[in-house]
Amino acid sequence: MVLFGKIVLGVVGTAVAGVGLLCSEGLVEVKVEERQPQVHHLCVIAPAMLAPIAVHFAPQKDLSHAAAEIRPWMPTIRAALDQLRENDDMTLGQVKEPGERVRVAKEGGSIVVEVEDKDDTVHVSTPIRAISSTIEQLAAAGPAL
């Protein structure tokens, strides 16, 4: 009985540690609300850590091209993300047209993009830490310079 308890505790402990590790970079949240022709709600919440991991599985040929494009801009991207992390919550940009609205904001430790038109509303929230590590992975993916 004691042995069984230890095994259960071990399994639960490992699961909790695994979930904790997976969620250490925060969560990516995608919400889609369709209003026409029928009302649909879709909400996907995924650990942000999956994004940098997914970069490892992308085709090397495509990654090399992306890496070559992004590398010269890495100091600028790093500076921008570091500053964004330190800044207070704010709307960075907003475009409004009749029936349409796009908003990019910093909320908490995440970058939030909201797109709204007469048919749909899409809300994507991505932790800045996850954006940073994904871009770093992407830049490191190509052949060494």
Partner 1 sequence: MRKRLCGIGMICVLAGMVATAPAAMAGPTERYLHVKVEDASKGESVNVNVPLSMAEKILPTINKGDMHNGHVKIGHADMDDVDIRALLDAVRTAPDNEFITVKEKDQDVRVAKSNGNLVVHVRDGNKGGQKVDITVPMKVVDALLSTAKDNELDVSAAIKALSDAGDSLLVTVEDASQHVRIWVDSKGGQE
The residues binding partner 1 (CB under 8 A) are: 72, 75-76, 78-80, 82-84, 86-98
Q: How far is the CB of 112 from partner 1 (least distance, A)?
A: 14
Say if CB 136 and CB 77 are below 8 A apart.
Answer: no
Q: Which is nearer to partner 1, 36 or 88 (CB)?
A: 88
Q: How far is the CB of 86 from partner 1 (least distance, A)?
A: 8
Q: How far is the CB of 92 from partner 1 (least distance, A)?
A: 6
Q: Which is nearer to partner 1, 78 or 123 (CB)?
A: 78
Say if CB 47 and CB 25 are below 8 A apart.
Answer: yes
Q: Which is nearer to partner 1, 70 or 84 (CB)?
A: 84
Q: How far is the CB of 96 from partner 1 (least distance, A)?
A: 5
Say if CB 28 and CB 45 are below 8 A apart.
Answer: yes
Q: Which is nearer to partner 1, 36 or 76 (CB)?
A: 76
